[in-house]
């Protein structure tokens, strides 16, 4: 009897060891293929977005393959046009900014030094080059942190081609993939799985249009204001502002730092006005415009997006921040479809009011 008990425990320990080894190997493998998983997720998001016009064309008697190729071609032409129109100016002004960085740096030190004339000890510490160098990340560390998700030029081209191939194949013939997706769920859950994916698809379209609309408004405002203030590199800052909403709420603040520093090297008052402009623009767009634009399709609370963004960005860096809003939309769609029910929501408004009014 004791021998059987000992043998049973031994088998359990061996089983636990194999399970732990399998989990560790799985985690290691996932970590190694993270760029591929992110690429696949972006491909799914883009496919769901492009599927909206494809479905409209199919409903107007256009064959699915022709509709998919037409929408895909229009997207490529649009991207090429934007690149041809904007990228040369951005590269020209970016090279000019890089060439003038030493003079901007010297001017910035001079401006700070003049403002700290009455504080010689603080002035000496801030103007000490070694202090600045010690507190700035080394180029090696910066390259290493970015390099986790970076590829060589050939690798980047390869992944880009694979990414476009994934999108076009999923767009032309999505039915087998959807069938495979649905078979992952029990028969009684497949209806909810289909509704959740449909809801996520609608939210992706809303996310894309809201980013384009609000990003274009922010880019136009940045162009006119910084041109009026005669801040160098206007097209560079316009390009950054156009994609600021990809990182919800914090994107415009982050992208305001370079133009503010460049402005500070020219004139402190100019820098102050630029800073105030970005603060006001971000608050107006983030608190009034963007919620209204996204309300009809996404209905995401900013706190939800910010929480997911901070968690994912802490784990995966910039790419994590970029997928935060689409990922939040997927989480919301599946949570509401599988977890929340109509009976759950019956008295939710009364319960929310109880919390707000502190009715113990």
- What pLDDT digit, counting tens, does each position of 133-144 carry? 455 444 445 444
Token output for 223 = 């162009």
Average pLDDT over residues 265-294: 81
| Dihedral sign of CA atoms 158, 317, 255, 248 in order | positive
Give 191's contacts (C-beta < 8 A, 6+ positions apart): none
Query: What angle (nearest 5°) sits at the alpha carbon of residue 333, between those of residues 43 and 39?
Result: 15
pLDDT tops 60 at residue 1: no
pLDDT tops 70 at residue 123: no
pLDDT tops 60 at residue 319: yes
* Contact yes or no for 310/235 (Cβ under 8 A): no
Token output for 256 = 């305001």
Q: Give whichever of 6-20, 57-71, 240-254 has the largest mean pLDDT.
A: 57-71
Confidence of residue 73 (pLDDT cuts 50, 70, 90): very high
Higher pLDDT pick, 168 / 126: 168
pLDDT at position 274, please?
87
pLDDT at position 356, please?
66
Distances (CA, A) of 344 to 41, 66, 83, 328, 348: 31, 44, 49, 21, 7
pTM: 0.69
pLDDT-above-70 percentage for the chain: 70
CB atoms within 10 A of CB 240: 22
pLDDT tops 50 at residue 320: yes
Average pLDDT over residues 85-110: 67
Confidence of residue 116 (pLDDT cuts 50, 70, 90): low
Smallest CA-to-CA distance from 57 within 41, 46, 73, 44 is with: 73
* Cα Rg, the chain, nearest whole Å: 26
Average pLDDT over residues 232-239: 80
Among 58-72, 106-120, 240-254, the minimum mean pLDDT is found in 106-120
DSSP 187: G
Dihedrals phi, psi of 233, to nearest 5 degrees: 75, 35
Q: What is the chain's mean pLDDT, rounded? A: 76
pLDDT at position 150, please?
45
DSSP 138: P
pLDDT at position 140, please?
45
pLDDT tops 50 at residue 14: yes
Which class for 184: exposed (0-12), middle (13-18), buried (19 or more C-beta within 10 A)? exposed
């Amino acid at each position: 009897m004791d021998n059987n008990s000992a043998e049973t425990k031994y088998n359990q320990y061996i089983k636990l060891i194999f399970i732990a080894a399998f989990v560790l190997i799985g985690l290691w493998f996932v970590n190694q293929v993270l760029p591929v998983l992110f690429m696949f997720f972006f491909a799914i998001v883009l496919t769901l977005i492009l599927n909206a016009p494809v479905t409209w064309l199919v409903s107007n008697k256009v064959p699915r393959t022709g509709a998919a190729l037409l929408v895909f071609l229009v997207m490529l032409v649009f991207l090429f046009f934007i690149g041809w129109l904007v990228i040369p100016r951005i590269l020209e002004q970016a090279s000019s900014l890089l060439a003038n960085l030493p003079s901007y740096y010297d001017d910035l030190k001079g401006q700070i030094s003049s403002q700290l004339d009455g504080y010689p000890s603080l002035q000496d510490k801030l103007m000490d080059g070694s202090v600045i160098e010690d507190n700035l990340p080394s180029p090696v560390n910066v390259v290493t942190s970015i390099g986790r998700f970076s590829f060589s030029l050939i690798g980047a081209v390869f992944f880009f081609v694979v990414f476009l191939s994934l999108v076009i194949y999923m767009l032309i013939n999505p039915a087998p993939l959807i069938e495979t997706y649905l078979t992952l769920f029990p028969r009684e859950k497949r209806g909810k799985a289909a509704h959740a994916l449909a809801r996520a698809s609608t939210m992706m379209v809303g996310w894309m249009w809201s980013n384009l609309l609000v990003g274009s408004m922010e880019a136009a405002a940045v162009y006119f204001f910084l041109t009026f203030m005669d801040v160098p590199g206007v097209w560079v800052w316009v390009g950054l502002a156009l994609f600021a909403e990809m990182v919800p709420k914090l994107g415009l603040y982050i992208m305001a730092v370079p133009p503010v520093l460049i402005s500070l090297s020219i004139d402190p008052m100019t820098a102050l006005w630029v800073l105030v402009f970005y603060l006001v623009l971000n608050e107006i767009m983030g608190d009034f415009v963007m919620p209204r634009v996204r309300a009809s399709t996404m209905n995401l609370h900013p706190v939800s997006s910010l929480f997911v963004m901070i968690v994912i960005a802490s784990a995966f860096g910039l790419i994590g921040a970029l997928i935060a809003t689409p990922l939040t939309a997927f989480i919301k769609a599946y949570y509401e479809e599988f977890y929340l029910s109509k009976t759950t929501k019956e008295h939710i408004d009364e319960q929310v009011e109880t919390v707000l009014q502190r009715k113990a």
